Amino acid sequence: MAIFMYMFLLLVLFDIVRLLLFLFKLKIHNIHLYTTAAAIVLCAILIVFGFFHARSIKTANYSLTLPGAGSDIRIVLASDLHIGPAVGEKWINNVVDAINRVGPDIVCLAGDVFDGNLDAVKDLPEIILQLKRINAPLGVYACLGNHDVDRVSFGNGSTERIEEILKQAGVLLLKDEAFTIREKLYVAGRGTPAPLA
């Protein structure tokens, strides 16, 4: 899909370049060959860059002071894991290791934990074991994103199996509700979003 999208956009871009050359009466021999080759090379570069970019764990640190919050709390917010046919146990192991290195008190998984059809996930039991390894004394919480819809055989899909997997992994799913962690400390999650079209 990405290759198709990038090739389409690049070919349109190079058609515009050819149109401008035509309008300004500039003639370049084999322009169709050059622009098509350039589109293929640029598409390959974008795909390779995107592949490695998606495989890197990005972190940002913020320090907040809230009135009446009491002692220091370390919270990890992780999102867009997109567990699916291309993202499996090895990647989730790396993510969990990165989370545990921080030493969080609370971990929040903010949507798009899965990426569609659960039947396409090859190593689901191992992924559940990896998610169980998250070490957060005050709990691991999640809400669903628009990709968290189990499209069984490409049907309309539902969230029931995803909810069950999160439960097996020790993750508390919050759907339009708040959970009291301790006095004056709450975590809230939104409800199930509309499925990705």
pLDDT along the chain (197 residues), means of 10: 86 91 90 90 90 82 76 91 90 96 95 89 94 97 90 69 95 94 88 60
Residue 125 and residue 185 share a domain: yes
Amino acid (1-letter code) at residue 90: K
Check whether residue 182 and residue 86 sit in a common domain.
Answer: yes
Spatial CA neighbour of 189 closest among 91, 81, 79: 79
Q: What is the CATH number of the domain that holds 136?
A: 3.60.21.10
Same domain assignment for residues 91 and 34: no
Q: What sections of the chain are H helices per DSSP?
A: 2-23, 31-54, 89-102, 124-132, 160-168
Q: Which residues contact 53 (CB under 8 A, 6 or more apart)?
A: none
pLDDT of residue 193: 60
- Please give the structure tokens belonging to residue 166: 């999160």
Residue 90 is predicted with a pLDDT of: 93
pLDDT score for 37: 92
Question: Which strands form 140-143's sheet, in the order they lie side by side?
Answer: 75-78, 106-110, 140-143, 172-173
Which structural domain, as residue segments, surrounds residue 28? Answer: 2-54
Residue 67 lies in a domain: no
Q: Which residues pair with 188 in a beta bridge?
A: 178
Tell me if 113 sits within 8 A of 166, measured CB to CB: yes
Rounded CA separation 83/153 (Å) = 17
Q: Which two three-digit tokens encode residue 175?
A: 């759907």
Q: Is residue 167 part of a domain?
A: yes
**37 lies in the same domain as 108:** no
- Asked if residue 61 is part of any domain, the answer here is no
pLDDT confidence of residue 97: 97
- Nearest in space to 195 (alpha carbons), one of 117, 128, 142: 117
What residue type is 80 in one-letter code?
Answer: D
Q: Name the DSSP letter for residue 158.
A: B
Q: What per-residue confidence (pLDDT) applies to 151?
A: 73
SS (H, E, C) 99-144: HHHHCCCEEEEECCCECCCHHHCCCHHHHHHHHHCCCCCCCEEEEC
Residue 126 lies in a domain: yes
Contacts of residue 35, defined as CB under 8 A and 6 or more positions apart, other chains included, come to: 11, 14, 15, 17, 18
Whether residue 122 is found in the same domain as residue 42 = no
The per-residue pLDDT for 56 is 83
